[in-house]
Structure 1
């Protein structure tokens, strides 16, 4: 009897076109024993000149200085100054999300370099309004922009009427700088907390599932969500009623949501600016969440995913851990 030739092992399907260095590493802030030197190095790297964090801070300072109504006008709610904030946010969102979409997806200026997922934006899909993922995402992003504007205007009204305590760099330079350092970490902690709630039962079925229609994401996907989620996303602005701060801190935090969502969902790790220079925009940590769903609920600067067993480091072993977690959930273990 002739022996049958062995079937060669199947080559695993390639999931990603590009990934950053794997496995992903979480910020060392929460390690035990404490690692102060490693935490300092990580913090300094996070403020690199071609990263979003420093860009958001610069944009927040410019926005407050040149494109925000004087707080004296905000003592009463009036159409004029509210419309100015709305118009400025409209221009910001259109410039950032629209600009990234045109560069990366429409005109493909860097083709597929640094692109995570090779699947195209969906067309003819009934799950999206207008049966078009991009048009759907644009519509709901502009809806979300109204909640961004609402929370910002609420804080200007609060400052103008003495509901919130305002500091300046001159009056409290140490706290001013400390807040700038802490805001990105706070934004990640808040994101994990409300994101976990959005993945529960009723909230997922009727609210957050809208956002998860975007298995592959583009810049307009970041704020494409149910209006209830848009409202919740910016609610951490209320922290400034309790914490003394400057309006630059308010704008900086809001930019982590209003601009950070389009950039982190861009679908590309970097945007090439020229020979040897690229701007960091993407967030592969969160891209894994859109692909595998039950992982990476927070950010790379928060410890909760590691502590609760939902951290996916992007490796093949991470894929298997997610599959095993799903198997246990489905089997009721």
Structure 2
């Protein structure tokens, strides 16, 4: 594919799409049914439906009966850890291998034209970003994910949190399942703004932002505190009457759904003339500029409400720079 038909490349070689980001039309007022209907398939395909299916399959094939879950045991807990490690490795590597190891499409549609493997830095373990990101994800991120998953399942089985039945509450549980991505987006925005507080950024979130040029394995490359906050999205289902299958979907959305925002390519080519949109640009801009697009997919318009939304335009650049200048002046006044 010719990526210059769909975007432009800077003098440095970095690529940017021609189309600007747009917020989800579910919040438009007055409503725009035509725009909403056009957008709706992208809400489900490809990722959300895939994570729904993965959660259902996991429930059927991996999670034991409720009677077993009522008693904590290392056997079923470690089985889940092993399965999560295998699934995470396969999912993350299925993106990393063709795009960053084999470099199947070169840097076509790649926001940052450089590849992490070509640059070493002492901010990473062993001076290698990919190895650092992989180890942090598998050795820290997935175990924390699994611990919260085990806690959720054990709590559900013992009646400590609501466990609604699909047969008795189909409409309500359907709504809860439908808003899982929205819950994630709002939760992500809240914790993301929190860990951008200077002291937390310095000691916690900077680990993730070391990957200025992210790749799929950067997705869960975090400080353990950030892992806890991030996968803590499952605690919404301790409060909202829900079902453990939907809570699993929430965790799969967090664990596997972190990848799209860190792919680093706007389009993944499937043939010489076709490809699919990764929806990665919004979060890439956050990695590039640090203080914009704190939300994940922009499903909840909090970035727009608080003036941190960046749609990729020059106007957004100017607003961002003006905000940076104002911040610099405030700091200057405080130190005076």
TM-score of the two chains, using structure 1 as the length reference: 0.89
1:256 to 248, 253, 263: 253
1:129 counterpart residue number: 125
1:312 to 310, 313, 316: 310
Query: Is contact 1:97-1:263 (8 Å) kept?
Result: no
The one of 94, 98, 123 equivalent to 2:93 is 98
Residue 108 of structure 1: how far off its partner (Å): 1.5
Question: Which residue number corresponds to residue 206 of structure 1?
Answer: 203
- Which segments of 5 or more consecutive residues in structure 1 lack a partner in the other structure? 1-10
CA distance in 2, matches of 1:61, 1:209: 35
Are 1:139 and 2:138 matched, yes or no?
no
Aligned to 1:6: none
Give the Å deviation of 1:60.
1.3
Whole-angstrom distance in 2 between the partners of 1:325 and 1:309: 9
Instruction: Please name the residue that 2:58 is paired with.
Output: 63
**What does residue range 78-93 of structure 1 map to in structure 2 within 5 Å?**
78-93=73-88
Structure with the greater alpha carbon radius of gyration: 1
- State the shift of 1:174 in Å: 1.1
Question: Is the partner of 1:223 in helix, strand or coil?
Answer: coil
Match of 1:150 among 140, 147, 151: 147
The answer on whether the counterparts of 1:264 and 1:282 sit within 8 Å (CA) in structure 2 is yes
Separation in 2, partners of 1:212, 1:150: 25
Within the candidate set 11, 21, 30, 1:24 is matched to 21
Q: Aligned-pair distance for 1:124? A: 2.8
Q: For residues 318-333 of structure 1, what are the structure 2 equivalents within 5 Å?
A: 318-332=316-330
Structure 1 residues 26-35 or 318-327, which shifts more?
26-35
Which runs of no fewer than 5 residues in structure 2 stay unpaired? 1-8
Contact 2:261 2:282 in 1 (8 A): no
What is the match of residue 6 of structure 2?
A: none
Q: CA deviation at 1:36?
A: 5.5
SS in 2 for 1:26: coil
Q: Which moved more, 1:27-36 or 1:126-135?
A: 27-36
Match of 2:268, SS state, is strand
- Note closer, same or farther for the CA distance 1:32–1:258 as it changes in structure 2 (3 Å cut): same
CA distance in 1, matches of 2:199, 2:264: 29
After superposition, what is the alpha-carbon deviation per residue over 1:207-253, rounded to whole angstroms, capped at 9, x for unaligned?
Answer: 00111111110000010011110111011211212222222211111
**Aligned 1:1-333 pairs, distance under 5 A:** 13=11, 16-19=14-17, 21-35=18-32, 38-48=35-45, 51-121=46-116, 123-142=119-138, 143-274=140-271, 278-298=275-295, 299-332=297-330
Alignment CA distance shift 1:248-1:279 (3 Å)? farther
User: What TM-score, normalized to structure 2?
Assistant: 0.89
The count of aligned residue pairs is: 320
Q: Counterpart of 2:263 in 1: which secondary structure?
A: coil
